[in-house]
Structure 1
Amino acid sequence: MDKIKPEIGEIGMKIAFIGAGSVGFTRKLVRDLLKVEMFHDVEFALHDINARNLDMVAQLLRRDIEANALPARVTQSTDRRTALEGARYVVNCVRIGGLDAFRHDIEIPLKYGIDQCVGDTICAGGLMYAQRSIPQILQFCADIREVAEPGAWFLNYANPMAMNTWAAIDHGGVRNTIGLCHGVQNGWRQIANALGAERHDEVEIFCTGINHQTWYTDIRFRGRKVTRDELIAAFEAHPEYSRTEKVRIDVLKRFGFYSTESNGHLSEYLPWYRKRPDEITRWIDTSEWINGETGGYLRVCSERRNWFEEDFPKFLAEAGKPLSAHTRSDEHCSHILEALEGGPVYRGHFNVRNGGIITNLPDDCIIESPGFVDEFGLNMVEGVTLPLGCAATCQASVDVQRMGMLAAVNGDLELLRLAMLHDPLTGAVCNPEEIWQMTDELLVAEAEWLPQFAHEIDGAKDRLSRATVATRNWTGAARKQTRSVSELREEKGGSVMTAEKVRATAQD
């Protein structure tokens, strides 16, 4: 990767955020950066196509900066190139199509019997998310090449992580691209808790695979290697995880390795746990959406967005607290930028092009594996070999990701259909005729966000007018209703939702 050689704490450095109107997430990343002295005098350039959301986030950040008497600046623009001009770092947090498109990703597959918890990585929902996202990411990359600082870094937080990052590197021409996710950190804390560690850093981990299907292949607790049987026993004895992580524990028993992803996420990437409606409730828990609730992330995003918008005046009044009260999170962003700018070396798990990093996955795919960042750039640990069972599940997803990514780049309906057909859960539930019809229905419903498929929409409409596959009105095996703001307040004892709590649930 190309290296920018900066002056430490250089005045005028610009950090741009695309999709900056994300509920709480942009503010969390900026506050992390402001905990680092070298970023006290930078420009945070915010861009979003939703001017209202953009302005709310900008107001909160300005209040934080002013209250802490920092020279940092916040600029905002609905024009992307204005925000990207001269940027050294670009952080992508977009959800193309917003909650309206996301709702189609969940609701239409349900008509065909496909029950998703999140639907943002693979499955029918994740594949459609990629079709909406990738054309826009290619435009982001073109702008970065043309108007950002030469050699600028593109930090992608947007799902579907692997397909988006793959498109940016192979078709967007931005070599300094890293995909970032917090799944490894979340699972790390969970393992430490199960083992009885007082702090998660008492446990050392080596985690590798592909995004959302990453595997803890080596775990050390206080210097001692943790065995498979010990880890199984720890999770089965845990009063919470034994109930909420049944899929992950079952996979641990059968594969021998624990997966990074939550019960709900993991269950939709495999063909075995959500294929029959009457068995879904056996494997999931509905105490928290992430444990497997049907459309759980859509529900939570909708609730938090509504609450944030309604209580924004309260959030703004609460903003401006001393940064000393903010604990820097383990989101990768601030740590990567600090290391690139000459600060401490940072070890993390990053999404990059494979190129031999994992020996038994394809060279061209996007893997998530350990690496180190310093002032010379990103350096990955190479020569990793996945256990065969773990590699097999990753390979199945990689094949789906490759077809989905290329379908999005080229507007290729046949590849999109084949990606749907080979998706583990979709293929376990539907026959080919059902998948073809569902794909047509998704294309028509989401046409406004799919410019590359404009030439296919009329044909899809015509086929749907003659459709023979019967669908059903099904809400899923474990669906909960979206609660109103008043219902949420009542549930919390009448309290107003705090900005910190919104941030805690705003990004999966």
Structure 2
Amino acid sequence: MDYKKFKVAFVGAGSVEYAEKLVYDILSVPEFQQIDVAFTDIDEEKLERSTALCQRDIDENGLSIKIQATTDRAEAIKDAKYVFNMAKVGGLKGWECDLMIPLSYGLDQCVGDTLCAGGIMYGQRMIPLVLDICRDMKQYARDDAMFFNVANPLTMTTWAAAKYGKVPAIGMCHGVGIGHRQFASVYHMPVEDIYITCLGVNHMGFYTDVWTTDRETGRHKDLIPGLADAYAAHPKYSEMEKARRDMLDWFGAYNTEQNGHTTDLVPWYRTNPKLLADWVSYVHCFAGETNGYYGMSELEQELSAKNYELRMKSPGLIFDAGKRSHEHASFLMEGMELNRIYRGHINVVNNGSIKNIMDEAIVEVPCYADIHGINVPVYGEMDDAQVEVINRLVTVNKLATDASCTGNVKKLYQAMLLDPLTGAALDPRQIRQMTDEMLVAEEQWLPQFKDGIAQAKMRLEQSKKDGTYFPTDKNYKGGAVRSIPYEMYEE
């Protein structure tokens, strides 16, 4: 079919590994090997390194593409059809505040990038950037430009872009695919022989259908009834997915995402330090340990910097459509540009797809991409108990998104109070004080809360004077501290 040239812009392109992965995937589609590519980042050094690495790959494949690298976001977005958000506002410094301040109150998180106290504050840092990107898109990008969000917290940032940024926005995460590949492992089957439907929100959905088809008879076989025994017998996942196996018992369906995410997003597993060890393991940074993902990310960032020169001395990657990653982006673009229909679990505005979740929510459901765009089927109502787990997260995501987009700090406090794990672990007075401390610590990234932060400072100062300040323990390490080096972790 006819091919039209287009431009792809990457915001936060200083993320070297992720930028290289997405560029590899997209340029592995032969029809896309004449597109325009723009990288932008506020960190000039990271931008330069990422550009050099990806340009090396492009040159190795003999393509004429020259990456446009600029710290001017508007210039990068100019005339773009697809705008990727892959930024991480605050970096490891902000993330450390998200984790360590709550930990001093006894609120123990594994990941802290989705919800719970850490994920909520991460969203407050990210959303001002998202709204700026959307403004630039409406002013400089093509009229049909799409916002491709791959940055956490995915639900909040995509919701902000769709509702307040008023641009066509979708969020992409590879988490549902991880569970899909686990099913193949526990059943000792090729992944392409297992079919799934997963419904919910990012990092917390339920695999409502898992089945296979007999190649000889064509009959479908439901795999859900055997999942509990299959996971119990698996040498790795029986240990790594303890909380998710318990969720399967309670809710009759396996949930996304990995064990550590699960323990962050429900009120049952991380509230008692003495019992937390029953629900976590130390074979993977996402298996539930205290601050597990942060610790692994610290190591990865250190190794990435050390290995960069070695990588630049090695040959570039050869583009191969059959060796693309599990990221959705290139397949969605292939569907929309070339009409090669793609089915993937994508984060989109609900708009009636799941009947018992609010319409404006961002849900993660199977969607289809073709020349007509992203098509979202209607899946009806979810199981009452499953949807209750999800709707608790929807409410918190909505409050946190509205808080950041409007500067309404009271909604931020409400989001913290209603968050499943935060509300289960802390007294309301502790929640307010903790939120005040997080606002003050992250002030440089939170321009929307100028007045609220000033009030938070006064409250904290007054409580210390009048003796109503709740004591914290900054030496508390958490209830699930790793005992082996990260380099020993199994990927």
Give TM-score scaled by structure 2 length.
0.95
Measure, in 2, the Cα distance between the counterparts of 1:74 and 1:138: 25
Measure, in 1, the Cα distance between the counterparts of 2:242 and 2:133: 40
Measure, in 1, the Cα distance between the counterparts of 2:379 and 2:457: 48
Alignment of 1:320-469 (within 5 A): 320-324=316-320, 327-467=323-463, 468-469=469-470
Specify the code of the residue in structure 1 equivalent to 2:28. K
Cα displacement (A) at 1:8: 4.0
Measure, in 2, the Cα distance between the counterparts of 1:75 and 1:307: 27
Residue of structure 2 in register with 1:10 after alignment = 4
Alignment of 1:107-118 (within 5 A): 107-118=100-111
Measure, in 2, the Cα distance between the counterparts of 1:326 and 1:92: 25
Given that 1:23 and 1:305 are in contact with CA atoms closer than 8 Å, whether structure 2 keeps it comes out as: no
Residue of structure 2 in register with 1:470 after alignment = 471
Residue of structure 2 in register with 1:299 after alignment = 295
Residue of structure 1 in register with 2:307 after alignment = 311
Give yes or no for the alignment of 1:190 onto 2:182. yes
Cα displacement (A) at 1:347: 0.6
Q: Which shifted more, 20-29 or 423-432?
A: 20-29
Deviation digits for residues 156-176 of structure 1 (CA, Å, limit 9, x no counterpart): 0111111111111110010x2
The correspondence for 1:261, drawn from 245, 253, 257, is: 257
Deviation digits for residues 120-165 of structure 1 (CA, Å, limit 9, x no counterpart): 1110001101111111101100000100011101110111111111
CA distance change for structure 1 residues 414 and 482 in 2, over 3 Å: closer, same or farther?
Answer: farther
* Secondary structure of the structure 2 residue equivalent to 1:291: coil
The correspondence for 2:58, drawn from 52, 56, 65, is: 65
Deviation digits for residues 479-499 of structure 1 (CA, Å, limit 9, x no counterpart): 34997xxx95xx69xxxxxxx
Alignment of 1:27-176 (within 5 A): 27-174=20-167, 176=168
Specify the code of the residue in structure 1 equivalent to 2:478. G
Specify the code of the residue in structure 1 equivalent to 2:117. A
Residue of structure 1 in register with 2:225 after alignment = 229
Residue of structure 1 in register with 2:466 after alignment = none
Specify the code of the residue in structure 2 equivalent to 1:281. A
Specify the code of the residue in structure 2 equivalent to 1:10. K
Cα displacement (A) at 1:271: 0.2
How many correspondences in the alignment?
A: 480
The correspondence for 1:249, drawn from 225, 240, 245, is: 245
* Secondary structure of the structure 1 residue equivalent to 2:277: helix
Residue of structure 2 in register with 1:498 after alignment = none
Residue of structure 2 in register with 1:501 after alignment = none
Deviation digits for residues 281-333 of structure 1 (CA, Å, limit 9, x no counterpart): 11000121110111111111111111111221101112413324981112100
The correspondence for 2:192, drawn from 201, 204, 215, is: 201
Given that 1:299 and 1:481 are in contact with CA atoms closer than 8 Å, whether structure 2 keeps it comes out as: no
* Secondary structure of the structure 2 residue equivalent to 1:466: helix
Measure, in 1, the Cα distance between the counterparts of 2:300 and 2:315: 18
CA distance change for structure 1 residues 30 and 124 in 2, over 3 Å: closer, same or farther?
Answer: same
Q: Which shifted more, 91-100 or 455-464?
A: 455-464
Measure, in 2, the Cα distance between the counterparts of 1:22 and 1:8: 33
Measure, in 1, the Cα distance between the counterparts of 2:155 and 2:320: 35
CA distance change for structure 1 residues 50 and 430 in 2, over 3 Å: closer, same or farther?
Answer: same
Specify the code of the residue in structure 2 equivalent to 1:169. A
Measure, in 2, the Cα distance between the counterparts of 1:162 and 1:322: 34
Cα displacement (A) at 1:466: 2.9
**% same residue:** 40
Q: Which shifted more, 464-473 or 322-331?
A: 322-331
The correspondence for 1:210, drawn from 201, 205, 214, is: 201
Given that 2:16 and 2:49 are in contact with CA atoms closer than 8 Å, whether structure 1 keeps it comes out as: no
Cα displacement (A) at 1:459: 1.8
Specify the code of the residue in structure 1 equivalent to 2:242. K
Deviation digits for residues 380-408 of structure 1 (CA, Å, limit 9, x no counterpart): 11143211111000011111111111111
Unaligned runs of 5+ in 1: 1-6, 493-503
Given that 1:8 and 1:38 are in contact with CA atoms closer than 8 Å, whether structure 2 keeps it comes out as: no
CA distance change for structure 1 residues 410 and 96 in 2, over 3 Å: closer, same or farther?
Answer: same
Residue of structure 2 in register with 1:500 after alignment = none
* Secondary structure of the structure 2 residue equivalent to 1:259: coil
Measure, in 2, the Cα distance between the counterparts of 1:163 and 1:201: 32
CA distance change for structure 1 residues 470 and 313 in 2, over 3 Å: closer, same or farther?
Answer: same
Specify the code of the residue in structure 2 equivalent to 1:242. S
Measure, in 1, the Cα distance between the counterparts of 2:128 and 2:484: 31
* Secondary structure of the structure 1 residue equivalent to 2:278: helix
CA distance change for structure 1 residues 51 and 481 in 2, over 3 Å: closer, same or farther?
Answer: farther
Given that 1:41 and 1:73 are in contact with CA atoms closer than 8 Å, whether structure 2 keeps it comes out as: no
Measure, in 2, the Cα distance between the counterparts of 1:91 and 1:38: 20
Measure, in 2, the Cα distance between the counterparts of 1:326 and 1:72: 21
Deviation digits for residues 238-275 of structure 1 (CA, Å, limit 9, x no counterpart): 11111110100000011000012100001110000001
* Secondary structure of the structure 2 residue equivalent to 1:458: helix
* Secondary structure of the structure 2 residue equivalent to 1:478: coil
Measure, in 2, the Cα distance between the counterparts of 1:227 and 1:315: 43
Q: CA RMSD in A?
A: 1.8
